[in-house]
Chains A and B, each alone.
Chain A
């Protein structure tokens, strides 16, 4: 068994670990780094449980082999606290601002944007990425962007309310 070593940046820290076989970023995060907040569901990029931020966009970490992720900047749910509290130096381009992350976290709690919680790490990153790119998205855009981040509790209304509240708080409309 020839192990290859992969080095990348996870939640702002340089990390290095051996990988074996066809190991993907989702398993690398969970099993090599112990970051079990990222879940693995379908394994084909359809369910959204393994959503992480990578180099400026959200991706399904089950679709990215660990060797392909080498050298990239990856952020998971475990990195949100450091991000929200402004403890990140040398943030890569496109990373959501601390104010945005705080607004999204608060909105998910206040709007009951989570029930069992298994989809929440992916939902939160998807919403941060969306609002970072488009601070005041239309309802249609929100639905297009979040399609494929499945909530098995079907708590979609709470999630949509959370997106609206976070958007309002972070980028208030000029004419209310």
Chain B
């Protein structure tokens, strides 16, 4: 392959113009490269132009917004992990960001790159779906905002069109008032993608009765899965005993995993149930 050209626009407008065809439509976004890099090394991708986003100031930064967070697409996972405002508002997100890969990967990888890579076993999609996050997609033709669960289409596939950029992620303020727990089951090595990752976000009333629940599972289907049947099983009662087991059974029934090096489909299904129970028990113990 030819050596790609590395282009670093300084404004969002310039980046979108390059993506929309000024570069011959051959530009691929480089947003940290920890997902794309190995594909280039193996010759699975051979773009003529790498469009680096690191100098586009509008795409960076972590800001408090409406009680929640506005997260720029080029925020490094290590900065997400260490951000005081993230830790204060949604500690589960800071914690999950600190579990991706290793420090060298987290120092390069960005939030937007992580989401656009769309490996179904990634850590942040389940957490962000449980938090009710939305993503902002921008092209020269306009802007659209989607709930994150509608962003993913399949393994390494998203709704993003070639001329669109994911510019920011919004974590709503109400999620900061819920309790959110994420657990990842990575039996081979802690730096590996998890076999399954389970995130649950709940609002409990003073008596511990569940008023609202969001359940999302990674690694057990073509994309992160939001499991509404499990959410319905949780709402209306205290997180304990049979209610926890029922919700975990709903997760087990809803996931759609396949056999691979991280486990057989059957095993992942069982682990999705087991880890859902553990996450729910942890939420119950926190009350």
Contact = CB atoms under 8 A, between A and B. Distances in A.
A64 B40 contact: no
Interface in B3-52: 3-6, 30, 33-34, 37-38, 40-41, 43, 46, 50, 52
B15 to A, nearest CB: 16
Contacts of A152: none
A8 B104 CA distance: 20
Contacts of B107: 57-59
Contacts of A44: 37-38, 41
Contact of A147 (B4, B43, B191): B191
B191 A63 contact: no
Interface in A1-47: 1-4, 19-24, 43-46
Interface residues of B, number: 28
B141 interface: no
Contacts of B1: 21-22
A58 B104 contact: yes
Interface string B63-103: 00000000000000010000000000000000000100111
Contacts of B3: 2-4, 19-23, 66-67
Nearest to B105: A45
A20 B139 CA distance: 32
A148 interface: yes
B38 A68 contact: no
A70 interface: yes
A125 B34 CA distance: 20
A45 B41 contact: no
Given A22-B4, A22-B43, A44-B38, A68 B103 contact: no
A63 B50 contact: no
B204 to A, nearest CB: 30
Contacts of B46: 22
B108 interface: yes
20 contacts: A2-B2, A2-B3, A3-B3, A4-B3, A21-B2, A22-B4, A22-B41, A45-B102, A57-B107, A59-B107, A60-B108, A62-B37, A64-B108, A66-B3, A67-B3, A67-B50, A144-B103, A147-B190, A148-B191, A149-B102
Interface of A: 1-4, 19-24, 43-46, 48, 51, 57-60, 62-68, 70, 126, 144-145, 147-149
